[in-house]
Structure 1
Amino acid sequence: MGKRAGRVDFEWVYTEQPHTWRRKEILAKYPQIKSLMGHDPQLKWVVSGMVLTQLLACYLVQDLQWKWVFFWAYGFGGCINHSLTLAIHDISHNVAFGNKQARWNRWFAMFANLPIGLPYSASFKKYHIDHHRYLGGDQLDVDIPTDLEGWFFCTPSRKVVWLILQPFFYALRPLVVNPKPVTRLEIQNAAVQFVVDAIIYYLWGLKPIVYLIAGSILCMGLHPISGHFIAEHYMFIKGYETYSYYGFLNYITFNVGYHMEHHDFPSIPGSRLPLVKKIAAEYYDNLPQHTSWVRVLWDFVFDDNIGPYSRIKRQYKLAKQE
């Protein structure tokens, strides 16, 4: 368990991200894909149902023993909360109400944020734009681990710790790699979140708050659903920086597994990404793909050639000036 991972640096490349040229090729060949862009009218109802389910759960857990609070947080509530973070991911691309209703999307993301327990949606939106625009960008794409993470979390036991602590790295890494001024939306997001937390605490006590926050942290750490964090962009095969997963967990994660398709067409809602693959099958069927997020986590921990350094990086020299 103490053997160090083989990589000592990121995989530096000097080409543009592949999603740019593949998008152009696919649209030239299949212009009907443009009809899939736009908002998903069902998304707001699905998300609302999930939020209400978690509010009901807050009422139900108020009298449980602490061990059962954590049990249900990991096995049920955290799964919903993780799914809600992926709904927020979809909403960040304005697919809940469309590009013409950008503010409605921002406020609805705050509503989807409520069961997560901590403010998240506004900050995620601010940085996720860079992840798409500057994929792999040095000091721009905060989805990429820092050098310190790559250097230290390099053995199986340390990689397990890194996976457990993953939600904290995702929250703190942007402040180190590419800090940005706090926006008004972030302040509003925090105000709304903490007011609702206070109301829940007033009505039902501390256990529902712990249920929500613990579920979010636990299920974004070492959990089968969290395999998507590693599966999406960690370089399991040299030269490939984005991977899709077409398994059943897509049903509860807003099709985030269709990640190659998502980066090619970020304005297409997750619910329609399977249609992209169906229409342009020859562009995706032969690309490397994952078949199990649990297997992804296992390989990440025990394969000496895979670790936090297993990411493609590139320089965007003009990005800071734009």
Structure 2
Amino acid sequence: MGNKVTRGDFEWVYTDQPHTERRKEILAKYPEIKSLMGPDPRLKWVVLAMVAVQLVVCQLVRDLAWKWVLFWAYAFGGCMNHSLTLAIHDISHNVAFGNRQAKWNRWFAVIANLPIGIPYSASFKKYHIDHHRYLGGDSLDVDIPTDFEGWFFCTPFRKLLWLILQPFLYVLRPLYVNPKPISRMEMCNALVQFSADFLLYQTCGLKSVVYLLAGSIFCLGFHPISGHFIAEHYMFMKGHETYSYYGSLNLLTFNVGYHVEHHDFPSIPGSRLPMVRQIASEYYDTLYQHQSWVQVLWDFIFNEEIGPYSRIKRKCQLANVA
């Protein structure tokens, strides 16, 4: 169990991502899937309710002992914040208000960002579009670990440390792999977020701020819900780069487990992805599926053949986008 992962590089391929061709085939066979595309009118109300709940809890934890603040940050607040990051993931595809109201989606993501404690939504959208357009693209898809991560985090203990450090790696990796100029929306996101943090500190105190920040760090790191980070694209079966999970944790994560379906149809809201699988079941039921995100984390740590290097990479040409 203490041996290093023997794989010394990523799995390089010279083919296009499979989602493009499968999307064409499914739409040709089941054109009714197009009716699932478009905004989800319920999403904004669910997100607003979650933000409100976190604000109420901030009031409840302000006078607790520090050990209980951190306990509730991990057990409850972090779960809510992780769920909100996945709401932001959905909103980044304009499914809250539709493509014609792109700015509304961006500003609503800033509202969903508030309990997370750090400005996140604007930067996420900027890089997440590349993740879909250039899946596995060398120097383009910042979801791919760096060579240093693949080389260094190669034993069970180091892989556990890597999982704990995930929130920081996701923040720092884009600055190294694919740095981009800071946008006006990112500055607005930061201004709103830090103003909200300061207001929360003034009204509820330090413990409420720590409750939100610690929850985000805890549950975006080593936590059962964070199993989806590994489950989505790490190569548990050679040659396969995207995987789905259909278990109960989808109820907390806006169906992010339906990840093959999501990459096939990113403009379909998470709430409708189960219908994609139901309509085109022959395309999905035969694919390798994860049964448990906890099992995914266990296998990632202790299986010698799986580590940060277990990703498919490809050379991609930068698209000319007006």
For the criterion TM > 0.5, the same-fold answer is yes
1:62 and 2:62 aligned: yes
1:221 and 2:238 aligned: no
Q: CA deviation at 1:9?
A: 0.2
Q: C-alpha separation between the residues in 2 aligned to 1:7 and 1:70? A: 37
Corresponding residue of 1:148: 148
Q: CA deviation at 1:127?
A: 0.1
Corresponding residue of 2:94: 94
Instruction: Tell me the alpha carbon deviations over residues 107-149 of structure 1, each in whole angstroms, 9 at most, x when there is no partner.
Output: 0000000000000000000000000000000000000000000
Q: C-alpha separation between the residues in 2 aligned to 1:194 and 1:321? A: 35
Q: C-alpha separation between the residues in 1 aligned to 2:113 and 2:92? A: 12
1:234-245 equivalences in 2 (<5 Å): 234-245=234-245
Q: C-alpha separation between the residues in 2 aligned to 1:320 and 1:89? A: 22
Q: 1:320 to 1:42 in 2, by over 3 A?
A: closer
Q: CA deviation at 1:2?
A: 3.2
Q: C-alpha separation between the residues in 2 aligned to 1:101 and 1:320? A: 24
After superposing on structure 2, the runs of 4+ consecutive aligned residues of structure 1 that deviate more than 3 Å are none
Give the counterpart letter for 1:121 in structure 2: S
1:1-322 equivalences in 2 (<5 Å): 2-316=2-316, 318-319=317-318
Q: Percent identity, aligned pairs only?
A: 75
TM-score by length of 2: 0.99
Report the aligned-residue RMSD. 0.7
Q: C-alpha separation between the residues in 2 aligned to 1:260 and 1:133? A: 14
Instruction: Tell me the alpha carbon deviations over residues 140-177 of structure 1, each in whole angstroms, 9 at most, x when there is no partner.
Output: 00000000000000000000000000010001000000
Instruction: Tell me the alpha carbon deviations over residues 91-111 of structure 1, each in whole angstroms, 9 at most, x when there is no partner.
Output: 000000000000000000000
Q: C-alpha separation between the residues in 2 aligned to 1:221 and 1:2? A: 22
Give the counterpart letter for 1:206 in structure 2: L
Contact 1:92/1:109 (<8 A) preserved: yes
Q: C-alpha separation between the residues in 2 aligned to 1:56 and 1:3? A: 47
Give the counterpart letter for 2:198 in structure 1: A
Q: C-alpha separation between the residues in 2 aligned to 1:320 and 1:25? A: 23
Give the counterpart letter for 1:41 in structure 2: P
Question: Unmatched 5+ residue regions in structure 1?
Answer: none
Q: C-alpha separation between the residues in 1 aligned to 2:310 and 2:192? A: 38
Q: C-alpha separation between the residues in 2 aligned to 1:16 and 1:205? A: 51
Contact 1:235/1:241 (<8 A) preserved: yes
Report SS of the residue matched to 2:130: helix
Aligned residues: 321
Report SS of the residue matched to 1:210: helix
Q: C-alpha separation between the residues in 2 aligned to 1:231 and 1:320? A: 28
TM-score by length of 1: 0.99
Q: C-alpha separation between the residues in 1 aligned to 2:131 and 2:99? A: 19
Q: C-alpha separation between the residues in 1 aligned to 2:46 and 2:107? A: 16
Q: C-alpha separation between the residues in 2 aligned to 1:118 and 1:220? A: 13
Q: C-alpha separation between the residues in 1 aligned to 2:2 and 2:320? A: 43
Give the counterpart letter for 2:271 in structure 1: S
Contact 1:6/1:306 (<8 A) preserved: no
Give the counterpart letter for 2:287 in structure 1: L
